[in-house]
Homo-oligomer: A and B are copies of this chain.
Amino acid sequence: MVSIEDIKQAATRISGRVHRTPVLTCAAIDRLAGASLFFKCENFQKVGAFKMRGATNAVLSLNNDEAARGVATHSSGNHAQALALAARMRGIPAFIVMPSSAPAVKRAAVEGYGAEIITCEPTLQAREETLNAVVERTGAVFVHPYDNEAIIAGQGTAAVELLEEVPDLDVVMTPVGGGGLLSGTALAVKALAAKARVIAAEPTGADDAARSLAAGHIIPSVDPDTVADGLLTSLGERNFPIIKENVSAIWTVGDPEIIAAMRLIWERMKIVIEPSAAVCPAAVLARPHEVSGLRIGIILSGGNVDLDRLPWLDHLEE
């Protein structure tokens, strides 16, 4: 079980290896929301996402024997790049299993950090078999993208920094996909700001976490459909109990509102965030009565966007 001590140790361990990202505010968006919003900008993090925190903590937590064999994971997203860069920073090998359907630009980014890519068919079974074969062949340590204690502790460090800068928050929000960021954040907030509620936000088209919380057990994500492509996965076994115990609510919001919030933040704050990072502000803007007058910390999870395909311009290509 991950404790606040694990998160504090993670913060010390990764300090200087990852960016301490700024907390930004925007008077115009506060007026629209009727609340005071404090944005923890993990879009400015290394590799452009909070994933660098967990990956760095996982890599630095290995003993020398483990580290010498390297790390392995399956991911075509931000975790793949984060683990590859964290491994390179420690000078150890990284093996990344990616589906043959992954975009060339994502493969190139991972290769750019010096990782070895192992391609598999784009099925869950092929992914797991390929990963197992890689681990067997190399002896590398498998670092799951979210269902992993070192990852959870690492992701929790963003909330630690946020609360150091803005201690008196009423609510702390993160988006939820597999639950790595949410579970780490929930543990940090409960320990460091017991009066604050932790609330997650999730796309309506991928609302398995909201349904899981309501049901009291994990309901897998089946055929999710949302622009927030970082939030497609099911909750992890290690993440769900933490979320169940410490998260007050999961707010869902539709893709049109997510896209509008993303565009609003680009336009007013002049920062680039990815659709998954816009889910929390979208959920807040959709709930004026619930959030009125509150001080809300929001972790903007990342900023990796295909600048040639902006969601509010997709009609141009049809």
Q: Is A38 an interface residue (CB 8 A)?
A: no
- CB-contacts of A270-315 with B (<8 A): 270-273, 303, 307-308, 310, 312-313
**Does A50 count as interface, using CB distance less than 8 angstroms?**
no
Q: Is the CB of B272 within 8 A of A43?
A: no
A43 to B22, CA, bound (A): 16
- Rounded to whole angstroms, the CA-CA distance of A270 and B301 in the bound complex is 12
Interface residue count for A (Cβ, 8 Å)?
Answer: 20
Pair B312/A310 contact, Cβ less than 8 Å: no
- Closest Cβ neighbor of A317 among chain B residues: B316
Q: Which of B43, B270, B310 contacts A48 (CB 8 A)?
A: B270
A223 at the interface (CB under 8 A from B): no
Classify the interface of chain A: helix, strand, loop or mixed: helix
B43, A270: Cβ atoms closer than 8 Å: yes
Closest to A303 in B: B270
In the assembled complex, the Cα of A308 lies from the Cα of B263 at a distance in Å of: 10
Residues of B contacting A312 with CB < 8 Å?
307-308
Q: Is the CB of B44 within 8 A of A266?
A: no
8 new A-B contacts, CB < 8 A, other than A44-B269, A271-B271, are: A22-B22, A44-B270, A266-B307, A272-B272, A308-B312, A310-B313, A316-B316, A316-B317
